[in-house]
Chains A and B, each alone.
Chain A
Amino acid sequence: MTSIDLPDIVRRQWPFRPRFACVNCWRMHYVDEGSGNPVVLLHGNPTWGFLYRDFVAPLTAAGYRVIIPDMIGFGLSEKPSREQAHSLDGHIANLTALLRGLDLHRATLVCHDWGGPTGLGFALSNIARVKALVLMSTWAWPLPPAEFHTRIFPWRMMHAPLLGPYLLGRHNALAGRGIYLSVVDRKRFQERAQAAYEAVLPDPASRLLTWTWPRWIPLDASARAFDRFAWLERELRACSLPALLIWGREDDVFDPSVFIPRFRQLLPHAEGPHLVTGRHFLQEDSGPEIAAHIIDFLRRLA
Protein backbone atom coordinates (compact mmCIF):
# COMPACT_ATOMS: atom_id res chain seq x y z
CA MET A 1 0.00 0.00 0.00
CA THR A 2 1.04 3.58 -0.51
CA SER A 3 0.45 6.45 1.90
CA ILE A 4 -0.07 8.89 -0.97
CA ASP A 5 -3.68 9.42 -1.93
CA LEU A 6 -3.70 9.50 -5.71
CA PRO A 7 -6.57 11.41 -7.35
CA ASP A 8 -9.21 9.29 -9.07
CA ILE A 9 -8.17 10.50 -12.51
CA VAL A 10 -4.69 9.19 -11.77
CA ARG A 11 -5.87 5.86 -10.37
CA ARG A 12 -7.99 5.22 -13.45
CA GLN A 13 -4.91 5.57 -15.63
CA TRP A 14 -2.59 3.75 -13.21
CA PRO A 15 -4.43 0.60 -12.10
CA PHE A 16 -1.30 -1.44 -11.55
CA ARG A 17 -0.55 -3.35 -8.38
CA PRO A 18 1.99 -1.44 -6.28
CA ARG A 19 5.02 -3.45 -5.25
CA PHE A 20 7.78 -2.45 -2.88
CA ALA A 21 11.34 -3.66 -2.46
CA CYS A 22 14.05 -2.73 -0.02
CA VAL A 23 16.88 -1.55 -2.26
CA ASN A 24 20.19 -0.29 -0.99
CA CYS A 25 18.49 0.55 2.35
CA TRP A 26 15.60 2.49 0.75
CA ARG A 27 11.99 1.52 0.07
CA MET A 28 11.39 1.49 -3.66
CA HIS A 29 8.00 1.32 -5.37
CA TYR A 30 7.70 -0.43 -8.69
CA VAL A 31 5.19 -2.17 -10.89
CA ASP A 32 5.80 -5.55 -12.47
CA GLU A 33 3.26 -6.55 -15.08
CA GLY A 34 3.14 -9.31 -17.71
CA SER A 35 5.60 -12.04 -18.49
CA GLY A 36 8.38 -12.59 -20.97
CA ASN A 37 11.67 -10.84 -21.52
CA PRO A 38 11.75 -7.82 -19.22
CA VAL A 39 11.45 -4.23 -20.38
CA VAL A 40 12.51 -1.78 -17.65
CA LEU A 41 11.09 1.71 -18.08
CA LEU A 42 13.13 4.38 -16.29
CA HIS A 43 11.93 7.90 -15.60
CA GLY A 44 13.87 10.98 -14.55
CA ASN A 45 13.29 14.32 -12.86
CA PRO A 46 10.60 15.07 -11.60
CA THR A 47 8.38 12.28 -12.84
CA TRP A 48 7.58 8.73 -11.76
CA GLY A 49 6.30 5.53 -13.31
CA PHE A 50 3.06 7.22 -14.34
CA LEU A 51 5.02 8.71 -17.25
CA TYR A 52 4.93 5.22 -18.81
CA ARG A 53 1.24 4.47 -18.20
CA ASP A 54 0.53 4.13 -21.93
CA PHE A 55 3.36 1.63 -22.38
CA VAL A 56 2.16 -1.12 -20.06
CA ALA A 57 -0.79 -2.51 -22.04
CA PRO A 58 0.91 -2.70 -25.46
CA LEU A 59 4.16 -4.13 -24.08
CA THR A 60 2.50 -6.80 -21.96
CA ALA A 61 0.14 -7.68 -24.83
CA ALA A 62 3.19 -8.10 -27.04
CA GLY A 63 4.65 -10.65 -24.63
CA TYR A 64 6.97 -8.64 -22.47
CA ARG A 65 7.32 -8.28 -18.70
CA VAL A 66 7.16 -4.59 -17.83
CA ILE A 67 8.99 -3.28 -14.78
CA ILE A 68 8.67 0.39 -13.86
CA PRO A 69 10.55 1.53 -10.77
CA ASP A 70 10.03 4.87 -9.10
CA MET A 71 13.44 6.35 -8.41
CA ILE A 72 14.12 6.77 -4.68
CA GLY A 73 12.98 10.33 -3.96
CA PHE A 74 10.17 10.29 -6.52
CA GLY A 75 6.74 8.80 -7.12
CA LEU A 76 5.60 6.33 -4.51
CA SER A 77 9.11 5.43 -3.40
CA GLU A 78 10.71 6.58 -0.16
CA LYS A 79 11.82 10.20 -0.21
CA PRO A 80 15.00 10.92 1.74
CA SER A 81 14.93 14.15 3.70
CA ARG A 82 18.53 15.28 3.17
CA GLU A 83 20.20 16.32 -0.04
CA GLN A 84 23.30 14.33 0.87
CA ALA A 85 21.23 11.14 0.62
CA HIS A 86 21.26 11.52 -3.17
CA SER A 87 24.13 10.80 -5.51
CA LEU A 88 24.35 9.49 -9.03
CA ASP A 89 26.28 6.42 -7.90
CA GLY A 90 23.75 5.84 -5.12
CA HIS A 91 20.86 5.93 -7.55
CA ILE A 92 22.64 3.49 -9.87
CA ALA A 93 23.15 1.22 -6.86
CA ASN A 94 19.45 1.53 -5.96
CA LEU A 95 18.44 0.38 -9.44
CA THR A 96 21.05 -2.34 -9.41
CA ALA A 97 19.67 -3.66 -6.12
CA LEU A 98 16.16 -3.85 -7.58
CA LEU A 99 17.07 -5.46 -10.89
CA ARG A 100 19.47 -7.96 -9.32
CA GLY A 101 16.89 -8.68 -6.64
CA LEU A 102 14.39 -9.51 -9.37
CA ASP A 103 17.17 -11.52 -11.03
CA LEU A 104 16.44 -9.99 -14.41
CA HIS A 105 18.18 -11.26 -17.52
CA ARG A 106 17.75 -10.27 -21.17
CA ALA A 107 16.41 -6.95 -19.97
CA THR A 108 15.79 -3.99 -22.24
CA LEU A 109 16.38 -0.67 -20.47
CA VAL A 110 14.30 2.27 -21.64
CA CYS A 111 16.04 5.40 -20.39
CA HIS A 112 14.66 8.93 -20.16
CA ASP A 113 16.26 12.00 -18.54
CA TRP A 114 18.07 10.86 -15.33
CA GLY A 115 16.84 7.37 -16.14
CA GLY A 116 19.66 7.56 -18.71
CA PRO A 117 22.69 8.01 -16.47
CA THR A 118 21.20 5.67 -13.85
CA GLY A 119 19.92 3.03 -16.28
CA LEU A 120 23.11 3.09 -18.33
CA GLY A 121 25.11 2.94 -15.11
CA PHE A 122 23.36 -0.34 -14.33
CA ALA A 123 23.54 -1.65 -17.89
CA LEU A 124 27.22 -0.95 -18.39
CA SER A 125 28.16 -2.61 -15.11
CA ASN A 126 25.78 -5.57 -15.57
CA ILE A 127 26.10 -6.23 -19.29
CA ALA A 128 25.29 -9.93 -18.94
CA ARG A 129 21.81 -9.06 -17.71
CA VAL A 130 20.99 -6.63 -20.51
CA LYS A 131 19.69 -7.30 -23.99
CA ALA A 132 19.14 -3.82 -25.46
CA LEU A 133 18.95 -0.10 -24.78
CA VAL A 134 16.35 2.49 -25.73
CA LEU A 135 17.40 6.11 -25.22
CA MET A 136 15.08 9.10 -25.11
CA SER A 137 15.90 12.73 -24.27
CA THR A 138 18.88 11.88 -22.08
CA TRP A 139 22.68 12.08 -22.11
CA ALA A 140 25.77 10.14 -21.04
CA TRP A 141 28.82 12.37 -21.23
CA PRO A 142 30.53 14.65 -18.75
CA LEU A 143 30.20 18.11 -20.19
CA PRO A 144 26.88 19.95 -19.83
CA PRO A 145 24.20 18.05 -21.68
CA ALA A 146 22.96 21.19 -23.43
CA GLU A 147 23.72 24.89 -23.73
CA PHE A 148 20.45 25.34 -21.81
CA HIS A 149 22.07 23.86 -18.71
CA THR A 150 24.80 26.50 -18.65
CA ARG A 151 22.37 29.45 -18.64
CA ILE A 152 21.45 31.40 -15.54
CA PHE A 153 17.90 31.95 -16.78
CA PRO A 154 16.07 29.81 -16.07
CA TRP A 155 18.11 26.69 -15.43
CA ARG A 156 20.82 27.66 -12.96
CA MET A 157 18.65 30.25 -11.21
CA MET A 158 15.96 27.61 -10.74
CA HIS A 159 18.17 25.36 -8.62
CA ALA A 160 20.59 27.94 -7.13
CA PRO A 161 21.17 27.89 -3.37
CA LEU A 162 17.93 28.78 -1.53
CA LEU A 163 16.22 29.49 -4.88
CA GLY A 164 15.94 25.74 -5.51
CA PRO A 165 14.22 24.98 -2.20
CA TYR A 166 11.99 28.04 -2.69
CA LEU A 167 10.97 27.60 -6.34
CA LEU A 168 11.01 23.84 -6.66
CA GLY A 169 10.29 23.10 -3.01
CA ARG A 170 7.74 25.62 -1.77
CA HIS A 171 6.21 26.17 -5.21
CA ASN A 172 6.68 22.75 -6.82
CA ALA A 173 7.79 24.57 -9.96
CA LEU A 174 9.25 21.59 -11.77
CA ALA A 175 6.52 18.99 -11.24
CA GLY A 176 3.83 21.55 -11.98
CA ARG A 177 4.72 24.29 -14.39
CA GLY A 178 8.02 22.71 -15.45
CA ILE A 179 6.55 19.58 -17.02
CA TYR A 180 3.65 21.61 -18.41
CA LEU A 181 6.10 23.80 -20.33
CA SER A 182 7.91 20.71 -21.64
CA VAL A 183 5.04 18.93 -23.37
CA VAL A 184 3.41 19.76 -26.70
CA ASP A 185 -0.28 19.26 -25.87
CA ARG A 186 -0.43 21.30 -22.68
CA LYS A 187 -4.20 21.27 -22.37
CA ARG A 188 -4.33 17.49 -22.49
CA PHE A 189 -1.46 17.27 -20.03
CA GLN A 190 -3.22 19.61 -17.64
CA GLU A 191 -6.45 17.64 -17.83
CA ARG A 192 -5.06 14.14 -17.62
CA ALA A 193 -1.60 14.06 -16.10
CA GLN A 194 -0.45 17.11 -14.18
CA ALA A 195 -2.25 16.00 -11.01
CA ALA A 196 -0.33 12.73 -11.07
CA TYR A 197 3.03 14.46 -10.89
CA GLU A 198 1.95 17.00 -8.30
CA ALA A 199 0.14 14.52 -6.06
CA VAL A 200 3.21 12.41 -5.35
CA LEU A 201 5.21 15.48 -4.29
CA PRO A 202 2.69 16.93 -1.88
CA ASP A 203 4.92 19.09 0.30
CA PRO A 204 8.20 20.98 -0.01
CA ALA A 205 10.32 18.38 1.76
CA SER A 206 9.05 15.66 -0.58
CA ARG A 207 10.36 17.63 -3.58
CA LEU A 208 13.99 17.60 -2.51
CA LEU A 209 15.24 15.58 -5.48
CA THR A 210 13.70 18.01 -7.97
CA TRP A 211 16.38 20.60 -7.17
CA THR A 212 19.05 18.09 -6.19
CA TRP A 213 19.27 16.33 -9.58
CA PRO A 214 19.97 19.56 -11.48
CA ARG A 215 22.92 20.11 -9.16
CA TRP A 216 24.38 16.77 -10.27
CA ILE A 217 24.70 17.84 -13.89
CA PRO A 218 28.39 18.55 -14.46
CA LEU A 219 29.17 22.05 -15.67
CA ASP A 220 32.95 21.64 -15.47
CA ALA A 221 35.60 19.08 -14.59
CA SER A 222 35.35 19.80 -10.86
CA ALA A 223 31.74 18.58 -10.70
CA ARG A 224 30.88 15.68 -8.42
CA ALA A 225 29.62 13.44 -11.20
CA PHE A 226 32.21 14.35 -13.82
CA ASP A 227 34.19 11.12 -13.46
CA ARG A 228 31.07 8.95 -13.50
CA PHE A 229 29.83 10.61 -16.68
CA ALA A 230 33.28 10.21 -18.23
CA TRP A 231 33.04 6.51 -17.36
CA LEU A 232 29.56 6.30 -18.88
CA GLU A 233 30.79 7.87 -22.10
CA ARG A 234 33.83 5.60 -22.28
CA GLU A 235 31.85 2.43 -21.57
CA LEU A 236 29.04 3.38 -23.90
CA ARG A 237 31.51 3.92 -26.72
CA ALA A 238 32.68 0.33 -26.22
CA CYS A 239 29.15 -1.04 -25.88
CA SER A 240 27.78 -3.28 -28.61
CA LEU A 241 24.30 -3.78 -27.16
CA PRO A 242 21.54 -3.17 -29.68
CA ALA A 243 20.22 0.34 -29.19
CA LEU A 244 17.31 2.45 -30.34
CA LEU A 245 17.07 6.26 -30.27
CA ILE A 246 13.67 7.93 -29.88
CA TRP A 247 13.38 11.68 -29.50
CA GLY A 248 10.81 14.42 -29.30
CA ARG A 249 10.72 16.45 -32.48
CA GLU A 250 9.96 19.60 -30.46
CA ASP A 251 12.49 18.92 -27.69
CA ASP A 252 14.10 22.32 -27.21
CA VAL A 253 16.21 21.35 -24.20
CA PHE A 254 17.74 18.07 -25.34
CA ASP A 255 17.71 19.26 -28.94
CA PRO A 256 17.60 16.22 -31.26
CA SER A 257 19.83 17.95 -33.80
CA VAL A 258 22.57 18.01 -31.15
CA PHE A 259 21.88 14.92 -29.06
CA ILE A 260 21.16 12.38 -31.77
CA PRO A 261 24.51 12.91 -33.53
CA ARG A 262 26.26 12.74 -30.18
CA PHE A 263 24.67 9.41 -29.33
CA ARG A 264 25.35 8.14 -32.84
CA GLN A 265 29.03 8.88 -32.30
CA LEU A 266 28.96 6.71 -29.18
CA LEU A 267 26.64 4.04 -30.56
CA PRO A 268 27.09 4.05 -34.35
CA HIS A 269 25.03 0.87 -34.62
CA ALA A 270 22.01 2.46 -32.89
CA GLU A 271 18.74 2.35 -34.77
CA GLY A 272 16.67 5.43 -35.34
CA PRO A 273 16.17 8.10 -34.48
CA HIS A 274 12.43 7.87 -34.45
CA LEU A 275 11.25 11.44 -34.08
CA VAL A 276 7.85 11.69 -32.44
CA THR A 277 5.66 14.56 -31.31
CA GLY A 278 7.07 15.68 -28.01
CA ARG A 279 9.25 18.00 -26.04
CA HIS A 280 11.41 16.70 -23.19
CA PHE A 281 8.56 14.64 -21.70
CA LEU A 282 7.80 12.99 -25.03
CA GLN A 283 5.98 10.07 -23.37
CA GLU A 284 3.15 12.48 -22.50
CA ASP A 285 2.50 13.30 -26.15
CA SER A 286 3.42 10.08 -27.92
CA GLY A 287 3.28 7.20 -25.42
CA PRO A 288 1.53 4.60 -27.60
CA GLU A 289 3.65 5.50 -30.64
CA ILE A 290 6.88 5.15 -28.66
CA ALA A 291 5.69 1.83 -27.22
CA ALA A 292 5.03 0.61 -30.77
CA HIS A 293 8.54 1.60 -31.83
CA ILE A 294 10.00 -0.33 -28.89
CA ILE A 295 7.94 -3.42 -29.66
CA ASP A 296 8.95 -3.32 -33.31
CA PHE A 297 12.61 -2.94 -32.31
CA LEU A 298 12.48 -5.85 -29.86
CA ARG A 299 10.66 -8.13 -32.27
CA ARG A 300 13.35 -7.59 -34.85
CA LEU A 301 16.02 -8.39 -32.26
CA ALA A 302 14.28 -11.65 -31.43
Chain B
Amino acid sequence: MITVVPQPSLDGKRLAFVLTEDRLGHYPEFRAFFARIFDLDRVGLTRPGYLQVPSGTVYALIFIGRSGEPFPSGVEVHGVVSALEPIDEAGVDRDLWSILRWMIEGVGGEWTADAMEATGRLFRVPASMDADRPRF
Protein backbone atom coordinates (compact mmCIF):
# COMPACT_ATOMS: atom_id res chain seq x y z
CA MET B 1 0.00 0.00 0.00
CA ILE B 2 1.20 3.50 -0.83
CA THR B 3 0.83 6.07 1.90
CA VAL B 4 1.40 9.78 1.99
CA VAL B 5 3.86 10.44 4.80
CA PRO B 6 5.44 13.47 6.43
CA GLN B 7 8.92 14.49 5.45
CA PRO B 8 11.29 11.83 6.76
CA SER B 9 14.57 12.55 8.41
CA LEU B 10 17.13 13.28 5.74
CA ASP B 11 20.12 12.66 8.02
CA GLY B 12 22.51 10.36 6.16
CA LYS B 13 20.19 10.37 3.17
CA ARG B 14 20.20 11.81 -0.31
CA LEU B 15 17.49 12.39 -2.87
CA ALA B 16 18.11 10.03 -5.79
CA PHE B 17 16.48 11.28 -8.99
CA VAL B 18 14.62 8.40 -10.65
CA LEU B 19 11.87 9.77 -12.90
CA THR B 20 10.60 13.08 -14.23
CA GLU B 21 7.54 14.34 -16.03
CA ASP B 22 7.63 17.67 -17.87
CA ARG B 23 3.94 17.74 -18.73
CA LEU B 24 1.90 16.50 -15.81
CA GLY B 25 -1.22 18.17 -17.15
CA HIS B 26 -1.12 16.51 -20.56
CA TYR B 27 -4.22 14.74 -19.33
CA PRO B 28 -5.51 17.29 -16.77
CA GLU B 29 -6.96 14.66 -14.45
CA PHE B 30 -3.39 13.62 -13.53
CA ARG B 31 -2.46 17.11 -12.42
CA ALA B 32 -5.75 17.38 -10.52
CA PHE B 33 -5.00 14.12 -8.72
CA PHE B 34 -1.65 15.31 -7.40
CA ALA B 35 -3.05 18.74 -6.51
CA ARG B 36 -5.79 17.04 -4.50
CA ILE B 37 -3.60 14.49 -2.74
CA PHE B 38 -0.91 16.95 -1.72
CA ASP B 39 -3.13 20.03 -1.28
CA LEU B 40 -0.99 21.81 -3.83
CA ASP B 41 -3.31 24.73 -4.41
CA ARG B 42 -2.50 25.71 -0.82
CA VAL B 43 0.99 24.27 -0.37
CA GLY B 44 2.40 25.38 -3.72
CA LEU B 45 6.16 25.05 -3.98
CA THR B 46 6.84 25.19 -0.26
CA ARG B 47 7.60 21.50 0.22
CA PRO B 48 7.74 18.19 -1.64
CA GLY B 49 5.16 15.48 -1.18
CA TYR B 50 6.39 12.19 0.31
CA LEU B 51 5.15 8.67 -0.36
CA GLN B 52 6.09 5.44 1.36
CA VAL B 53 5.86 2.37 -0.88
CA PRO B 54 5.43 -1.29 0.17
CA SER B 55 9.18 -1.90 0.11
CA GLY B 56 9.51 0.70 2.87
CA THR B 57 11.34 3.24 0.74
CA VAL B 58 10.13 6.81 0.84
CA TYR B 59 9.94 8.83 -2.37
CA ALA B 60 9.86 12.60 -2.63
CA LEU B 61 7.65 14.17 -5.28
CA ILE B 62 9.08 17.56 -6.18
CA PHE B 63 6.54 19.55 -8.12
CA ILE B 64 7.57 21.94 -10.86
CA GLY B 65 5.96 25.26 -11.75
CA ARG B 66 6.03 26.84 -15.18
CA SER B 67 5.00 30.41 -15.94
CA GLY B 68 1.68 30.63 -17.73
CA GLU B 69 0.62 27.07 -16.93
CA PRO B 70 -1.51 25.61 -14.14
CA PHE B 71 0.52 24.34 -11.19
CA PRO B 72 2.07 21.85 -11.07
CA SER B 73 3.32 21.62 -14.64
CA GLY B 74 5.70 18.79 -13.88
CA VAL B 75 7.05 16.52 -11.20
CA GLU B 76 10.32 14.84 -10.31
CA VAL B 77 10.38 11.58 -8.37
CA HIS B 78 13.34 11.07 -6.03
CA GLY B 79 14.09 8.13 -3.80
CA VAL B 80 15.12 9.00 -0.25
CA VAL B 81 18.08 6.66 0.00
CA SER B 82 21.31 6.15 1.90
CA ALA B 83 23.57 9.06 1.07
CA LEU B 84 26.58 7.17 -0.21
CA GLU B 85 25.09 3.91 -1.42
CA PRO B 86 24.05 3.14 -5.00
CA ILE B 87 20.37 2.54 -5.45
CA ASP B 88 18.85 -0.87 -6.10
CA GLU B 89 17.71 -0.35 -9.69
CA ALA B 90 15.33 -3.32 -9.84
CA GLY B 91 13.84 -2.33 -6.53
CA VAL B 92 13.36 1.25 -7.69
CA ASP B 93 11.69 -0.01 -10.83
CA ARG B 94 9.19 -2.05 -8.82
CA ASP B 95 8.61 0.86 -6.47
CA LEU B 96 7.92 3.19 -9.38
CA TRP B 97 5.45 0.72 -10.86
CA SER B 98 3.59 0.63 -7.55
CA ILE B 99 3.54 4.44 -7.41
CA LEU B 100 2.22 4.59 -10.95
CA ARG B 101 -0.49 2.08 -10.11
CA TRP B 102 -1.45 4.14 -7.06
CA MET B 103 -1.60 7.21 -9.31
CA ILE B 104 -3.78 5.50 -11.92
CA GLU B 105 -6.17 4.17 -9.30
CA GLY B 106 -6.37 7.65 -7.83
CA VAL B 107 -6.96 9.35 -11.16
CA GLY B 108 -9.73 6.82 -11.82
CA GLY B 109 -12.45 7.11 -14.41
CA GLU B 110 -11.36 5.61 -17.71
CA TRP B 111 -7.83 5.16 -16.33
CA THR B 112 -7.81 1.71 -14.78
CA ALA B 113 -5.16 -0.39 -13.09
CA ASP B 114 -6.16 -3.28 -15.37
CA ALA B 115 -5.36 -1.19 -18.45
CA MET B 116 -2.08 -0.12 -16.90
CA GLU B 117 -1.08 -3.68 -16.05
CA ALA B 118 -2.06 -4.83 -19.53
CA THR B 119 0.08 -2.08 -21.04
CA GLY B 120 2.99 -3.11 -18.84
CA ARG B 121 2.63 -6.73 -19.90
CA LEU B 122 2.33 -5.78 -23.57
CA PHE B 123 5.71 -4.08 -23.31
CA ARG B 124 7.08 -6.75 -20.97
CA VAL B 125 7.94 -4.37 -18.20
CA PRO B 126 9.46 -6.60 -15.51
CA ALA B 127 7.43 -5.09 -12.67
CA SER B 128 4.19 -5.95 -14.46
CA MET B 129 5.10 -9.54 -15.29
CA ASP B 130 4.48 -12.69 -13.33
CA ALA B 131 4.15 -16.32 -14.33
CA ASP B 132 0.37 -16.45 -14.15
CA ARG B 133 -0.29 -13.69 -16.61
CA PRO B 134 -0.82 -14.17 -20.32
CA ARG B 135 1.98 -13.11 -22.67
CA PHE B 136 1.30 -11.08 -25.77
Contacts and interface: CB of A to CB of B under 8 A. Distances in A.
Interface of A: 82-84, 152-154, 156-167, 169-171, 173, 176-178, 181, 215
Nearest to A84: B22
B111 A161 contact: no
Contact of A154 (B23, B77, B119): B119
Given A161-B21, A167-B125, A215 B118 contact: no
A165 B100 CA distance: 11
Given A83-B23, A153-B115, 15 more contacts: A82-B22, A157-B116, A158-B119, A159-B26, A160-B104, A161-B24, A164-B21, A166-B96, A166-B125, A167-B120, A167-B123, A169-B19, A170-B19, A170-B96, A181-B122
A153 B119 contact: yes
Contact of A160 (B19, B111, B122): B111
A83 B22 contact: yes
Given A153-B118, A173-B123, A161 B30 contact: yes
Among A83, A164, A167: residue with most chain B CB under 10 A? A167
A84 B123 CA distance: 26
A3 B52 CA distance: 40
Contacts, number: 79
A170 B20 CA distance: 11
Given A163-B116, A166-B19, A152 B110 contact: yes
Name which of B104, B120, B124 has the most chain A CB atoms within 10 A of its CB. Answer: B120
A169 B100 CA distance: 14
Contacts of A84: 22
A130 to B, nearest CB: 33
Nearest to A208: B22
B125 A157 contact: no
Interface in B85-120: 93, 96-97, 100, 103-104, 110-112, 115-116, 118-120
Nearest to A205: B20
Interface string B9-42: 0000000000111111111001100000000000
A156 B27 CA distance: 9
B75 interface: yes
B64 to A, nearest CB: 11
Contacts of A215: 23, 26
